[in-house]
Structure 1
């Protein structure tokens, strides 16, 4: 289980709690506002998740939460098993806490959880052209997986996560295989 040692100074990573829903819905809205500055205003102006909607998403998944030194939630990683991988459905950090290693800590905790649970690795879908998306994940060992070679469930998830009005070419599926997953990769997706 991820602990404080996985987070930058002044932060900790822990499991999601129902009482986190309102704070994390607000974090999600603030983090989504970044998309407008990078040419995706529709993603920034969409309807924000209510605390109930956030709980419906996060409460049924293996969600990790980053908290500050006061215990206030400042970020989250929503995870669920999919096609032998631990799928990162969403990663968000309050921009006030951005560029401090909180997102990286959440991602590392997800990878650790994936290894501990015996998954093949971590999967995610993301934007190609945003600096806090593809390049960020590539620095953490994620590589693109072509949809035509992806396990069918991951390809379906890619399409399910494709935002309305965004072309397929602007998004990609990325995988970070665990060592065990690398050995089985030769056998196919």
Structure 2
């Protein structure tokens, strides 16, 4: 599987991957999340985006720098390629990118108790943020304005691990 920056011509291929990965929420009794619109292309164009391609993107991650950390805006793995370590590999890729830029951590917001969200990221070394930075507070406020219940959400952080070599 090729992990690399997304090419501009691949950006339109990413929302269908996000939509397919969101279908899991329907089975979990959250159809409103499954039916939520994918990230707009106009937003993707302004983020750092990497794909796992075989040869076309089957998983992707979009990141921006927020308060000195690489903040994961979205990570999606097509269900046909799930449970193969692609999400973890993409996060490790982002960690190397963050290390090369002197960023100290990866952050994200996610559902606290959904098994493939909060518990999954905790297994990958993310921990709950006790005191969110101003940027994370703003992200949670924007999520709340979009209709997400902040009581179901959690801010997570994974420090860039010692010895992670910048691959850039």
| Aligned counterpart, 1:166 | 148
Matched, 1:57 2:43: yes
Aligned residues: 162
Q: CA deviation at 1:118?
A: 0.6
Q: How many Å separate the matches in 2 of 1:132 and 1:47?
A: 20
Structure-2 residue corresponding to 1:35: 25
Q: 1:129 and 2:113 equivalent?
A: yes
Residue 159 (structure 1) shift? 2.1
Q: In 2, distance between residues paired with 1:145 and 1:179? A: 17
Per-residue CA deviations over 1:99-129 (Å, capped at 9, x if unaligned) read: 0111111111111111111101011000011
1:17, CA displacement in angstroms?
Answer: 1.0
- CA shift in 2, pair 1:48/1:112, >3 Å: closer
Shift of 1:37: 1.1
Contact in 1 for aligned 2:21/2:78 (Cα 8 Å): yes
Equivalence for 1:107: 91
Report the secondary structure of 1:131's partner residue.
coil
Which of these two proteins has the greater Rg computed from alpha carbons? 1
CA contact (8 A) 2:140 2:150 kept: no
Unpaired stretches in structure 2, ≥5 consecutive residues: 163-168
Tell me if structure 2 keeps the 8 A contact 1:16–1:59: no
1:5: which partner in 2?
none
Shift of 1:24: 1.0
Q: Give unmatched runs, 5+ long, in structure 1.
A: 1-10, 181-189
Q: Is the Cα–Cα contact under 8 Å of residues 65 and 74 in structure 1 kept in the other structure?
A: yes
What is the TM-score of this pair, normalised by structure 1?
A: 0.80
